[in-house]
Amino acid sequence: MESGNPDIYLASRSPRRQELLRQIGVPYRQLDVVVDESAHEDESPEVHVLRLALEKARAGWHTVENGESPLPVLGADTIVVLDDEVLGKPSDRDQAMTMLRALSGNTHRVLTGVALVDDREATRISVNNVTFRELSDAEIQRYWETGEPADKAGGYAIQGRGAVFVSHLEGSYSGVMGLPLFEVADLLDEFDLDYRRGW
């Protein structure tokens, strides 16, 4: 929904986040932003993911606030956490294999922070528990060869082939995908943005 009159800007290149906004009928325009995603020393995963979502939204807002009709900017960040260790995007096959072996047969957390910024700022966090069945090395290898794990936090995509690994999900499916729609809708309501008008 990048044409017409947008309600917000989305500070993300993620096609999954764009798809999720379209799912609930939010007109948006996409913005490219670049922020340093490194964790700060002694920063908890919850603080980290909320800080990055807010920094992305702020970076987007700084690019549009001097326009003729500046709109709020939505930022989001997702991380996968296993035993208090943050699993980022695997840099190569070996790292993906290591990550997926660690997730095999275990429960991990997927945290997604969302932030909406104009001259106000508000944030929400979605905390989700995802349990994997046991995975064989052969299955992990074949999954790597699909190309899907390469740019995904934790090395898998729940909305893709990686869905077959998930035996149990406690929380928000859209939150694990990268944009928790309950929390996003709550932010839009807080900013008096009527995304339901097109329903």
77 given a catalytic annotation: yes
**Which residue among the candidates 36, 77, 119, 189 is catalytic per the annotation?**
77
For the chain, what percentages of helix, strand and coil (3-state, to nearest 5) are there? Answer: 40, 25, 35
Q: Are 181 and 24 in contact (CB under 8 A)?
A: yes
CA pair distance 180, 156, nearest whole angstrom: 17
CA pair distance 68, 183, nearest whole angstrom: 28
Rg (Cα) of the chain, in Å, rounded? 17
The per-residue DSSP string of 105-162 comes to TSEEEEEEEEEEESSSEEEEEEEEEEEEPP--HHHHHHHHHTTGGGGSGGG--TTTGG
Return the residue matching tokens 């997604």.
112
179 phi and psi angles, rounded to 5 deg = -150, 95
Give catalytic residues, as residue numbers. 77
